Amino acid sequence: GILVGTSLAMMLFVQKISTGHAEVVISHKGVISNRMPIRRFSPGHVKGGEVCVYRFSGSLTHINVQAHRKHIQQITDAKTIVLAFNAVSFLDCDGIDGIIDIVELMESKGMEVALAGIESELLQHTALYARKMEEHLVFASVTDALQVL
């Protein structure tokens, strides 16, 4: 009985964290026009020329990075997407690989991708981070990013 209960609890826990919790913030000319949890977001919320902030929340690992990719792929009409990491509590190598894939995917669609709120030394030692630094697309905070973009 205890083993079955423990197994069920573990499966529910993995399912809950694998959904990829995040918030989307839409900004037009530096003014936030909309903010919503990712589960309420649809592509029609973003109009061309706007900046869209995708704020990761919680851990960013192998378990949930594909869910984040699926969510981010819905952002189609933004001029720039800011990936915000200030609410990330844990990031592993699989999460970093997923972020690199997400950035490459969005750039292949013609979007400018900026990074904000990065505290992870793992991410700061990647070629992606170095390239974004050269492009002046790494910001200490989302506020800083929205003021510049």
Residue 10 has pLDDT above 90, yes or no: no
Amino acid 112: pLDDT: 94
- CA dist 67 and 116 (Å) reads 20
Question: What mean pLDDT, rounded, does the chain reach?
Answer: 82
Instruction: For residues 3-27, give the mean pLDDT.
Output: 63
Calpha distance 1→7 (Å, rounded): 10
Please answer whether residues 78 and 103 qualify as being in contact, where contact means their C-beta atoms are separated by less than 8 angstroms. Answer: no
Residue 81's nearest CA partner among 8, 22, 127 is 22
Nearest to 126 by CA among 89, 87, 83, 77: 83
Return the residue matching tokens 């991708």: 113
The answer to whether 55 touches 86, Cβ cutoff 8 Å, is yes
pLDDT at 99 (0 to 100): 93
Q: Which of the two residues, 17 and 92, has the higher pLDDT score? A: 92
The residue count for the chain: 149
Percent of the chain with pLDDT over 70: 79
Tell me, what DSSP letter sits at residue 141?
S
Q: From the CB of residue 145, how many other CB atoms can be counted at a distance below 10 Å?
A: 23
User: Which tens digit of pLDDT belongs to each residue from 25-83?
Assistant: 777 777 777 777 766 676 666 666 688 899 998 888 888 888 889 888 888 888 899 99
